[in-house]
Amino acid sequence: MSAVPGPILYSLEELIAHFFYLFGLRNSAFLHSLKNRISFLGTSITDLQRAFRKEASKDDIGLALARIVSRIFCIAEFYRGHMSLPTAMAKKYPAQRCSYCNMYPCTCDISAGREEPTTTVGDVIKTNHQLEIWSLQDWQKHFDDVYGRRNRTQNIEQLLAHLLEEKQELDNALTLIPSSALTAEGVIESIAFELADVLAWTCAIATQMGINLHEVLMARYYPTCPSCQTAPCACRTFNHEQLQWAKPAK
């Protein structure tokens, strides 16, 4: 497979395809279990926490966020051919409404808990539009349009807590797979929904920081691997260690 041609502002599906092309072989060699890949995501979320704690620069925060998105795609790649992350996102976060309260913008009281999201007949056409056209930039704007008013009442520590909670739910979903009564398709969809939630809160943090997530992702990962400068990635070593942040000079 070759890299996706065309404009830099890919649809989310095209962007994920670029990452599959860039890192698919490397991920198969070094991250050959779903548990490995989820742990790899966890490391990048911890890196983001530490970046805030160290008062890292906005550029470094952008780097940390880009790494989280890359590792979300890495997990989706594990089920390549069987999982569509954009489809899961469109189902859980339909255009022009919250799937929980059906309002735009969202009026949910998340402190009181929420029922399961709903899907309406009217979502179908809009879902196709989301799948075919929406870029990561469009998704980030969508999350801000629907949930931004509520998110702006919270500080970064609270948004990070939500992100960590969603990562924990991803861990829980993996733990429950052996005893789950779900079909194989149901298991994969449940993982996809958890990934969608992780990406949604990653977008929320980027928006709070005034960071365009699509731009920082492409700056780091397009057109080549940032480490070996080739496409697809030809790295011979694979680093699982956390990043070391330095406080910016005053």
Does residue 19 or residue 244 have the better pLDDT? 19
**Above pLDDT 90, what percent of the chain?**
69
Residue matched to tokens 């198969």: 28
Q: How many other C-beta atoms are found inside a 10 Å radius of the C-beta of residue 188?
A: 19
Least Cα distance to 97 among 111, 88, 107 occurs for: 107
Q: Which of 30-34, 56-60, 113-117, 199-203 has the lowest mean pLDDT?
A: 113-117
Dist CA 94 CA 126 (whole Å) = 7
Q: What is the 3-state secondary structure (H, E, C) of 45-77?
A: HHHHHHHHHCCCCHHHHHHHHHHHHHHHHHHHH
Residue 174 structure tokens: 């993996």
In-domain check, residue 61: yes
In a domain, 246, yes or no: no
Is the pLDDT confidence value at 176 over 90?
Answer: no
Q: Can you give the pLDDT at residue 250?
A: 56
Query: Can you list the alpha helix ranges (DSSP code H) found in 93-155?
Result: 123-133, 136-151
Lowest mean pLDDT, pick from 46-60, 74-88, 168-182, 205-219: 168-182
Which residue type occupies 139? W
Range of the domain at 197: 12-83+155-221
Closest to 11 (Cα-Cα) out of 66, 81, 86:
86
Would residue 174 count as lying in a domain?
A: yes
| Domain contains 53 | yes
Q: What is the DSSP letter of 210?
A: T
120, part of any domain = no
Please tell me which residue, 169 or 240, carries the higher pLDDT value: 169
pTM: 0.91
User: Considering the domain boundaries, does residue 42 fall inside one?
Assistant: yes
pLDDT at 1: 38
pLDDT at 88: 92
Please compute the mean of the pLDDT values over residues 169-182 and round it to a whole number.
Answer: 88
Where residue 111 falls among pLDDT bands split at 50, 70, 90?
low
175 occurs within a structural domain: yes
| Higher local confidence (pLDDT), 209 or 238 | 209
What's the mean pLDDT in 154-180? 93
Choose the weakest-confidence range: 81-95, 113-127, 196-210: 113-127
Please give the tally of structural domains in the chain: 1
Region 70-85: what's the mean pLDDT?
A: 95
Start-to-end CA distance of the chain, whole Å, equals 47
- Does the pLDDT at position 238 exceed 90? no
Dihedral of CA atoms 201, 207, 210, 212 in degrees, nearest 10, equals 90
Helix 156-176 and helix 184-208: axis angle, to 10°? 170
The answer on pLDDT for 32 being more than 60 is yes
From CA 192, how far away is CA 184, in angstroms rounded? 13
Residue 145 belongs to a domain: no
pLDDT (0 to 100) of residue 99: 86
Tokens of 187: 């298991």
